[in-house]
Amino acid sequence: MLAVNQLSHSFKNGVEATPVLNEIDFHIAKGEMVALLGSSGSGKSTLLNLMAGLMKPTTGSILIDGSPIEKMSENQLAEFRRSHIGFIFQSYELIPHLTVRENVELPLVFQAVKPKERRDKAVSLLTKVGLGEKTEMFPSQLSGGQQQRVSIARSLVTEPAIVFADEPTGNLDTKTEKEIIDLLIELNGTLGITFVIVTHELEVARRARRVIQLRDGRLVEDGAWAGETG
């Protein structure tokens, strides 16, 4: 499903290149739920953005369903992202002047799906995430946890092969965080959605079945959660 091979990345600041990821290798199978852990600056967001095709690696490859995404043109990649990849942001990134339902429908608008089908899919997913009663409200009328549920529904509406989440509970209180983790685990279990979740929160790591840990841009741990290393 996802293969990361010898992936390295450096950011160029003028002439200097700062290495941020060093020769990362791992595979993720369909239906896995993986927590990506590491201290601030260890390269988690960089790795996630590379896997989601939001930027290109300096060297190495990323295969999603057998397609090497680093080799795609910008247009091919945009199209591939729309049909294969879901993304959940810490800050939700909802469009304020669209209703909750319209926000969830938006990825389907770009795929030219017919209005009735879009609407049905959005309402069905919003019901699954517990917001069946809130479909015609605006994002500002919802709590942070509810807004994150909307963004989770939006990430799933195109039936992506894999969903990436960058600190999806980072803006939430502990109780709401737990509810969102419960929801992600349930979606992973019932719909078989493959999730890669970047997190600082040990609670997320404890409850994912697999944890990949980065330190200073290197993969230092990959397996079942066994507590923090080093």
Ligand X SMILES: Nc1ncnc2c1ncn2[C@@H]1O[C@H](COP(=O)(O)OP(=O)(O)OP(=O)(O)O)[C@@H](O)[C@H]1O
Q: Which residues bind ligand X (CB under 6 A)?
A: 11, 20, 38, 40-46, 200
Question: Among residues 79 and 203, whose Cβ is nearest to ligand X?
Answer: 203
Question: Bridge partners of 36?
Answer: 198, 212
**What is the Cα–Cα distance from 69 to 89, expressed in whole angstroms?**
21
Question: Among residues 45 and 67, whose Cβ is nearest to Mg ion?
Answer: 45
| DSSP of 193-222 | -EEEEEES-HHHHHHSSEEEEEETTEEEEE
Q: Which of Mg ion, ligand X, none has residue 11 at its interface (CB below 5 to 8 Å by kind)? A: ligand X
Q: How far is the CB of 228 from ligand X (least distance, A)?
A: 14
Q: How far is the CB of 60 from ligand X (least distance, A)?
A: 15
Q: How far is the CB of 92 from ligand X (least distance, A)?
A: 17
Encoded one letter per residue, x for contact with Mg ion by CB under 5 A and - for no contact, window 40-59 reads -----x--------------
Quick one: angle between helices 115-128 and 100-109, nearest 10? 130
Nearest to 155 by CA among 55, 77, 75, 84: 84
Q: How far is the CB of 51 from Mg ion (least distance, A)?
A: 13
Beta strand 67-68 with 59-64 is antiparallel
Question: Among residues 39 and 124, whose Cβ is nearest to ligand X?
Answer: 39
Binding site for Mg ion (CB under 5 A): 45
